[in-house]
């Protein structure tokens, strides 16, 4: 069997980009059990409640839901167990320093397979205030309205495509 090539996204945390201001991102390996890998290959996972914590000098991913493998037996995994992340020591030091600052947290953005290995993209993020979220939504809506008005003006003048 040929080795997988490329990147296959399993789960994405779209809400994280809405709720947090992303400051820096890192790609980390993740320690998984066999049934977790099989469940991920079926495209089943949720990053919604996930976050990263340090225990000693190791980074752990908590709150990520990988459902039990359907065809598993007694060796099946616990869906919300703590999972170790694999990063270089310099990256861990940088993340630890940044996350210890007030208001910063570690959130998972994507869970994917890269060349056959399970990876997670984590970010150091700062929580947005409610008015920041409303401002971002308003900007997006204004951009959409502007684009819509321009396309309607082009169509009305006969230069539309």
In terms of Cβ atoms closer than 10 Å to its own Cβ (0-12, 13-18, 19+), residue 1 is exposed
- ∠ CA 121-127-84, nearest 5°, is 35
> Is 39 part of any domain?
yes
> Is 18 part of any domain?
yes
> Is 2 part of any domain?
no
pLDDT per 10-residue tile (average), the chain, 161 residues: 71 84 90 83 84 90 84 72 90 89 88 88 85 80 90 78 55
pLDDT in tens, 21-48: 888 899 999 988 888 888 888 887 888 8
> Is 56 part of any domain?
yes
Q: The pTM is what?
A: 0.72
> Is 158 part of any domain?
no
> Is 1 part of any domain?
no
Domain range enclosing 115: 7-151
Q: How many CA atoms within 13 Å lie on the side-chain side of 23? A: 14
Number of folded domains in the chain? Answer: 1
Q: Give which of 102, 99, 69 is closest to 85, Cα–Cα.
A: 99
> Is 157 part of any domain?
no
> What CA–CA distance (Å, rounded) separates 39 from 80?
13
> What CA–CA distance (Å, rounded) separates 104 from 151?
41
- CB atoms closer than 10 angstroms to residue 27: 13
> Is 62 part of any domain?
yes
Which residues make Cβ contacts (< 8 Å) with residue 64, sequence separation at least 6? Answer: 45, 46, 47, 49, 50, 80, 83, 108, 111
- Domain harbouring 22, CATH code: 2.40.280.10
């Amino acid at each position: 069997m040929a080795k997988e090539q490329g990147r296959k996204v399993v789960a994405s945390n779209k809400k994280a980009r809405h709720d947090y201001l992303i400051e820096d991102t890192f790609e980390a390996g993740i320690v998984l059990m066999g049934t977790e890998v099989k469940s991920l290959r079926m495209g089943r996972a949720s990053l919604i409640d996930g976050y990263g914590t340090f225990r000693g000098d190791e980074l752990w991913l908590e709150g990520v839901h990988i459902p039990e493998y359907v065809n598993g037996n007694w060796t099946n995994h616990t869906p919300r167990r703590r999972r170790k992340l694999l990063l270089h020591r310099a990256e861990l030091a940088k993340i630890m320093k940044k996350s210890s600052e007030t208001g910063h947290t570690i959130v998972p953005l994507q869970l994917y397979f890269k060349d056959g290995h399970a990876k997670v993209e984590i970010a150091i993020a700062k929580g947005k205030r409610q008015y920041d979220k409303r401002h971002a939504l308003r900007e997006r809506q204004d951009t959409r309205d502007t684009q819509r008005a321009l396309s309607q003006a082009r169509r009305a003048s006969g230069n539309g495509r």
